[in-house]
Structure formats: structure tokens, C-alpha cells
């Protein structure tokens, strides 16, 4: 049985591709088969793969481009399918959402990114969704304000913020073209996401 996870945010620059590729690396490291589906017309995940090929370090999982029909068909014979999506492009985001067992919304503590995260959550409807906070400096006021926004306000009652927050690291920024071997907390985020999917599956059984 294939488990599908989409990485969706209506704003660019929030770490969707990075999260997708790190999740794939973690899952591969644990012995699972994985397909990264690049549904972003800009092809960021494909660019990551091509750079790895050019560097002689081909990725050990497939990265393939997909259109809306591919997302709707969803025929990928691997343990996990990870869908990287573009900012905007409502039809693509809707197709990815509908194909997924869980949606991950990557964001950063920047005020504009947090604001647009709410807009993303609004269009996810009843789909199971979690927020992944990345690029954080735990000493900063921005970080503390973002955590409070997603956990301590009345409007955040239905928001699931993953407890693992990904730190700012230069190595993460230099990731494209590499297979991550240090995970900087993405491995713990994967654990949380898989635990949530398992719980949802039990509820539906």
C-alpha cells in the first residue's frame, strides 16, 4: 500500500522542495521505496535531481514530473509518494491535496510566511494537514511569535504544528544536488508525520 504526502503552501520560498527531498532521504535511509513527484512547473525537485546526476551522485529514489492527470491517477508502486507543489496553481494544489493521505505545510517564522500559511490552511478544507516550521532561530522573537500563533490563539484550535522545528543551517541551504545524510530534525518530523498517518488510518478502519 502506498502512502502519499503532499507538501503545499500557497507562497513560494517556504521550504516545500527542501522538505520533500529531506523526507525522501529519511525514508530511503530507513529502507522504504519512495517516489518524489515534481508537480511544480518550475521543476525545483527535478533541478535537485539533475544537479545530483551532474555531480555523479545520483539520488537513490525516483524524481519524476507530473501534471494534474498524473496526480489524479496516482499510480506509483512505491511505499511512499511525496508530492512537491508550486505556489499558487490552485488546480494542482487541489489535485495534490485530494491524492494525499496527509498534507504538510512547510513555513518559516517570517511574518509574511506565517500569514500565508493561514491562507493555505483555509483552502485545504477537511484534508488532514500539519504545519512544519523551518528555518528557525530559537532565540528570535519571530520564532516565538510564530509558535504562539500556531498553538496559543483561538484561531489555532484546529492547527497541528509538528513539535520538531527545523533550524536554520547553511548545509540545508546548500542541499540541492546532494543526498542529505544529516537530517537536522527532518527525521523526527518524519516520525511525527508517519505516526499521525497511522492514527488516521486506525480511525478510518
Task: Please report the pLDDT score of residue 133 as a whole number.
Answer: 98
> pTM score, two decimals?
0.96
Phi-psi region of 11 (alpha: psi -120 to 50; beta: other; left: phi over 0): beta
Which fold does the domain 3-204 belong to in CATH? Rossmann fold (3.40.50)
Domain boundaries, given as residue ranges, for the chain: 3-204
pLDDT per position as a tens digit, 96-137: 999 999 999 999 999 999 999 999 999 998 899 999 999 999
Task: Please report the pLDDT score of residue 178 as a whole number.
Answer: 96
d(CA 192, CA 44): 25
Task: Please report the pLDDT score of residue 125 as a whole number.
Answer: 87
Task: Please report the pLDDT score of residue 142 as a whole number.
Answer: 96
Task: Please report the pLDDT score of residue 152 as a whole number.
Answer: 79
Task: Please report the pLDDT score of residue 143 as a whole number.
Answer: 97
Which positions of the chain have pLDDT values less than 50? none
Task: Please report the pLDDT score of residue 203 as a whole number.
Answer: 84
CA 62, 182, 199, 113 torsion: positive or negative? negative
Q: What is the SS3 assignment for the chain? A: CCEEEEECCCCCCCCHHHHHHHHHHHHHHCCCCEEEEECCCCCHHHHHHHHHHHCCCCCCCEEEECCHHHHHHCCCCCCEEEEECCCCCHHHHHHHHHHCCEEEEEECCCHHHHHHHHHHHHCCCCCCEEEEECCECCCCHHHHHHHHHHHCCHHHCCCCECCCCCECCHHHHCCCCCCCCCCCCHHHHHHHHHHHHHHHHHHHC
Amino acid at each position: 500500500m502506498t502512502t502519499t504526502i503532499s507538501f503545499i503552501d500557497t507562497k513560494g520560498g517556504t521550504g516545500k522542495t527542501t522538505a520533500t527531498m529531506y523526507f525522501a532521504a529519511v525514508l530511503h535511509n530507513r529502507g522504504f521505496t519512495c517516489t518524489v513527484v515534481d508537480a511544480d512547473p518550475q521543476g525545483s525537485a527535478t533541478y535537485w535531481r539533475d544537479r545530483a546526476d551532474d555531480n555523479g551522485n545520483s539520488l537513490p529514489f525516483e524524481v519524476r514530473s507530473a501534471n494534474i492527470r498524473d496526480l489524479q491517477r496516482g499510480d506509483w508502486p512505491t511505499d511512499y509518494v511525496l508530492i512537491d507543489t508550486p505556489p499558487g496553481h490552485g488546480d494542482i494544489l487541489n489535485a495534490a491535496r485530494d491524492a494525499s493521505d496527509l498534507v504538510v505545510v512547510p513555513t518559516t517564522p517570517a511574518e509574511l510566511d506565517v500569514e500565508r500559511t493561514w491562507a493555505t490552511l483555509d483552502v485545504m478544507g477537511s484534508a488532514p494537514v500539519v504545519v512544519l516550521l523551518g528555518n528557525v532561530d530559537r532565540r528570535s522573537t519571530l520564532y516565538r511569535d510564530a509558535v504562539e500563533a500556531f498553538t496559543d490563539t483561538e484561531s489555532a484550535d484546529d492547527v497541528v504544528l509538528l513539535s520538531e522545528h527545523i533550524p536554520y543551517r547553511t548545509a540545508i541551504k546548500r542541499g540541492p544536488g546532494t543526498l542529505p545524510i544529516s537530517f537536522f530534525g527532518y527525521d523526527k518530523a518524519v516520525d511525527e508525520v508517519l505516526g499521525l498517518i497511522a492514527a488516521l488510518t486506525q480511525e478510518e478502519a
